[in-house]
Amino acid sequence: MVLEKDFTIAEVDKRIYGSFIEHLGRAVYGGIYEPDHPTADEQGFRQDVIDLINEIDVPIIRYPGGNFVSGYNWEDGVGPVEARPRRLELAWRTTEPNWIGTNEFMQWAKRVNSEVNMAINLGTRGIDAARNLVEYCNHTSGSYYSDLRISHGYKEPHKIKTWCLGNEMDGPWQIGHKTANEYGRIALEAAKVMKWVDPTIELVACGSSSRAMATYAEWEATVLDHTYDHVEYLSLHTYYGNRDNNIENFLARSLDMDAFIHEVVAICDYIKAKKRSKKTMFLSFDEWNVWFHSNEADRKLEPWTIAPPQLEDVYTFEDALLVGSLLITLLRHSDRVKIACMAQLVNVIAPIMTTNGGDAWRQTIFYPYMHASVYGRGVALNPIISSPKYDSKDFTDVPYLESIAVYNEENEELTVFAVNKDTTGGLLLDCDIRGFSGFKVVEHLVLENEDVKATNTEKEPNRVVPHNRGNAEVKDGLLQAVLPKLSWNVIRLKK
């Protein structure tokens, strides 16, 4: 690998390390909010969960959905809690008590030092509800909805900067599913009135729910044809699973994410050319993760309960390796991907798990996510990599080495993130860093485990944890390290 200061991709937008909390399963109730928990604060929020989230340093959190938002009346979640209605939540077939809503979530987000990426309902609602919610959240005072917020005890506006125009509206499972033209029209009109209320906000239009959708690509082009001049971002969603228990093929799926981003960028630039626009469309990869472990259990859940254990994937060591590869892929596209949200943050396909009334712990995927967020701030460098490759069931020419580097000039720090996908042996990494004279290795973190199916549980929360016994060192301008087989590596250098 060759690294040079001038081989830059882009300044990494910190929001690329965002996450997502939906009113789904135990993400909210039993996750971030549990008034009877021993660590709960005066508002009912779990301090043990807050502490773990603060370890990751999550810069932005998408809320309140997800599929949930397409049937959500935001008015149900404001005002006196005792007066709020219970609703049948059709997206996930549960009962929503509305104990937590917009204001409470905004308060909680401050506790974890995070911005909020607020989604509006373009399924059962429309432009009127959208403009009213922006007014309620962002207008100072002197209007009906801003004064309503003040009457609810929140004098200062929330000043939410980033807003999603609905969720996965291309999906037949979505409440209020629309064609690309139908969605493009309502997204355009919602965008206009939302920015008339607050011209400072940024908007995310819905892209395809996955690269496998039948309407993929045509959907993006049609939606952007309508909205290009009025939105800043187009969304991408993807989830991966090792359903056939083929680790080589599973770890190659970062190539699918890479191709997905390349294709959506091409569509955005096609519309830019078609409109003779000088504006560049950026991407919000606002749902991504591994998700498949819990599918069978979710089919057996009793409907219409409050906060059942839905989508509670227990992640393996091999899942952490793919998550690390996906983070590297996002960084490799940081010139266009400015927002990304690991879905989700607590309990629901999440890096953090809890037991009601009990402990909170870090899943295997917590570690690459935390490492990237904490150490991946700065300028992403374009590495020149020569790696041996392999073929798998669905992919050819898969590099054994997946790597990226981030340079923080202000702190004089260089961080190399690397995944070795080889199932049989270590890789000797030779990295030319002659342009970084005087830089020395301060830490080489390694996440490895002999059991690719190893998990962290409440009883064994530290079965899969990183160690700092990596052997990286710099000699004569060459960074050398052995990357153990099937490992996530973080090599931190400082001048």
> Given this model, what pLDDT does residue 451 score?
98
Beta-bridge partner residues of 236: none
3-class secondary structure for 429-488?
EEEECCCCCCCEEEEEEEECCCCCCCECCCCCCCCCCCECCCCCEEECCEEEEEECCCEE
Alpha carbon distances (Å) from 337 to 31, 41, 431: 28, 36, 26
Question: Sign of torsion, CA 391 392 393 394?
Answer: negative
For helices 366-375 and 317-332, angle between their N-to-C axes, nearest 10 degrees: 30
Domain span(s) for CATH 2.60.40.1180 in the chain: 389-494
With beta carbons less than 8 A apart as the criterion, state whether 91 and 65 touch. yes
β-strands 8-11, 413-420 pairing: unpaired
Q: Which CATH entry fits the domain spanning 389-494: 3.90.1150.10, 2.60.40.290, 3.40.50.11740, 2.60.40.1180?
A: 2.60.40.1180
Q: CA-CA distance, 452 to 441, in Å (whole number)?
A: 28
Whole-number pLDDT of residue 38: 98
Which pair of structure tokens corresponds to residue 179? 């064609």
CATH code 3.20.20.80 for 13-378: yes
DSSP string over 83-140: GPPPEEETTTTEEE--SS-HHHHHHHHHHTT-EEEEEE--SS--HHHHHHHHHHHH--
Q: How far apart are CA 159 and CA 460, in angstroms?
A: 41
**Sites in the chain below the pLDDT cut of 50:** none
Amino acid 265 reads V
Give 134-162 as a DSSP string.
HHHHH--SSSHHHHHHHHTT--S-----E
Which residues belong to CATH 3.20.20.80 in the chain?
13-378
Q: Which residues of 304-333 are buried (b: 16+ CB within 10 A; e: fewer)?
A: eeebbbbbbbebbbbbbbbbbbbbbbbbbb
Taking the CA atoms of residue 103, residue 106, residue 107 and residue 111 in that order, the dihedral angle to the nearest 10 degrees is 170
Tokens at 192, concatenated: 């206009």
What local confidence, expressed as pLDDT, does residue 397 receive? 98
Other CB atoms within 10 Å distance of the CB of residue 194? 24
10 Å CB burial of residue 88 (0-12, 13-18, 19+) is: exposed
Residue with tokens 């991407």: 283
Tell me which residues are annotated as active site: 168, 287
- Answer whether 305's CB lies under 8 Å from 253's CB: no
pLDDT at 259: 98
For residue 375 the two structure tokens come to 């150490």
